[in-house]
Amino acid sequence: MEFHGQKILPAVRKIKDLEKLLTSSYEYIVILDIHIGQLKSVVSLAKQHGKKVFLHVDLIHGLQSDGHAAEYLCQEFKPYGLLSTKSNVILKAKQKGVVAIQRIFLIDSSAMEKSIALLEKTKPDYIEVLPGALTNVITEVKERTGIPILAGGFIRTTEDVKAALDAGATAITTSDKELWKNFLKK
């Protein structure tokens, strides 16, 4: 699955931004920074508009980010996928048959080595590399793991998007609404 050519995965932080995306050509979206009490209506609304929803488990307020939370989210909301920094969330997502995206923060060589060891254990469907603007790191992670890469963080321009894609990223996760506009399918 390569998101049917969708190069931007809009990451939604506010309900009003989700409302704008509902009528867009974007099929895949990421929900960030949401309260557990809003989740049912937000996921339902997105699905009614044909959107495939990724939930960022670590950023759901009122819910502990662990394997139990992942199981609850899969059973209750049936998302298309889960995104997390936590290995137990990724393992549970895979067990439940949803797309698992492991988020890693690469701040130095030590973080790279620890992340590679973690990825060997969890074997996610995708890796979200932050910061995504480090294109040489995207290439290295993809070569070392063989797992498709999503790039996120500090991607601010269309040139940054293109550079990350050229470095081997499958798609870009961003909450930047200007980038959403620039990469809409016509």
31-68 pLDDT tens trace? 999 999 999 999 999 999 999 999 999 999 999 999 99
Task: Output the CA–CA distances (angstroms, integers) from residue 105 to 4, 17, 33, 113, in the order listed.
Answer: 26, 26, 18, 11
d(CA 149, CA 145): 10
Percent of the chain with pLDDT over 70: 99
Q: Where are the alpha helices (DSSP H) in 28-134?
A: 36-48, 67-77, 87-96, 109-122
Considering the entire predicted model, what is its pTM?
0.97
Class of domain 7-182: alpha beta
Closest of 99, 103, 28 to residue 65, by C-alpha:
103
Give the pair of three-digit tokens for residue 177. Answer: 């609404």
pLDDT of 133? 95
Confidence of residue 131 (pLDDT cuts 50, 70, 90): very high
Tell me the average pLDDT of the chain.
96
